[in-house]
Amino acid sequence: MKPVIIQPPQVDWLTGAFAQSKILSKTTRIADLAGVFADTSAWQESDPRQAVYDVEMLDSQTSEGNLFTGVTHLHPGRVGSEFFMTRGHFHSRREQGEVYFGLRGTGFLLLQPESGKACLESVSPGSVHIIPGYTAHRLINTGTAILSALAVWPTIAGHDYAALAQGFSLRVTDVEGKIQVREVQNG
Ligand code: PAN
Ligand code: ZN
């Protein structure tokens, strides 16, 4: 019997662009991120239609044991002095982890365990980030170009955004051209 050779999806490692497969896309704009940035008046004054990040995902089937593969393209920018970032989440199934791979741009992956101290990992092309279970995660773009990161996570993990309504405990801002990390209470 002739072996079947399948052409798998392709990703461009320099840009994170997928090719040759069915892609699901979602853009998150300033208007979608109420309560996410510390400076509420700066958020209100920002263009609500401005795209903050785009997520492109392979169309995988959700079932126990299956994995999602997606790329987040986080635009450069700030709300007030705070750098653009993803909303961030715990997985609904708290024990489920995830892996992020930095593709382009520079920034941080903010990791906040359910119990314990939050920390930042530097994201850059080639960086590998093992996100353990029970750990909320958020990307922050501290550069002037798009930050793109590839992620692989269990389809059953789910996203719990509500648990972080009070915010993460670290804020990353631009203070006169310098990156400043501040510890805060309740976001
Ligand atoms: C990522 C994130 C993506 C967007 O694919 O979902 O970066 O961030 P938010 O979901 O916090 O808006 C992931 O971590 N999936 O589990
Ligand atoms: Zn996740």
Number of other CB atoms surrounding residue 147 within 10 Å: 29
Can you give the pLDDT at residue 21? 75
pLDDT tens for the chain, 187 residues long, are: 889 999 899 999 999 999 977 899 999 999 999 999 999 999 999 999 999 999 999 999 999 999 999 999 999 999 999 999 999 999 999 999 999 999 999 999 999 999 889 999 999 999 999 999 999 999 999 999 999 999 999 999 999 999 987 789 999 999 999 999 999 986 5
Can you give the pLDDT at residue 116? 86
Residue 37 maps to a domain: yes
Residues in contact with 132: Cβ distance below 8 Å, sequence separation at least 6, in sequence order: 97, 113
* CATH at residue 148: 2.60.120.10
Domain residues for the domain of 100 are 10-183
- 35 φψ region: left (φ > 0), alpha (ψ -120 to 50), beta (else): left
Place of tokens 């024990």: 95
Number of other CB atoms surrounding residue 64 within 10 Å: 7
Number of other CB atoms surrounding residue 4 within 10 Å: 5
Residue 39 maps to a domain: yes
Residue 5 maps to a domain: no
Residue 108 maps to a domain: yes
Place of tokens 């653009």: 84
Task: Report how many domains make up the chain.
Answer: 1
Residue 96 maps to a domain: yes
Locate 174 and state its tokens: 């631009």
Residue 2 maps to a domain: no
Can you give the pLDDT at residue 187? 59
Can you give the pLDDT at residue 166? 76
Residue 1 maps to a domain: no
Ligand 1 pocket check: which of 55, 109, 148 to mutate, most ligand atoms within 8 Å of Cβ?
55
Work out which ligand 1 atom sits closest to the CA atom of 137. 14
The H or E element containing residue 45 is helix 40-45
- 186 φψ region: left (φ > 0), alpha (ψ -120 to 50), beta (else): left
Residue 35 maps to a domain: yes
Locate 95 and state its tokens: 């024990």
Find the 78 Cα to ligand 2 centroid distance in Å.
22
Residue of minimum CA distance from atom 8 in ligand 1: 86
Model-wide pTM > 0.85? yes
Can you give the pLDDT at residue 96? 98
Residue of minimum CA distance from atom 16 in ligand 1: 153
Pocket of ligand 1 (CB under 6 A): 28, 55, 70, 72, 86-89, 98, 137, 139, 151, 153, 157, 159
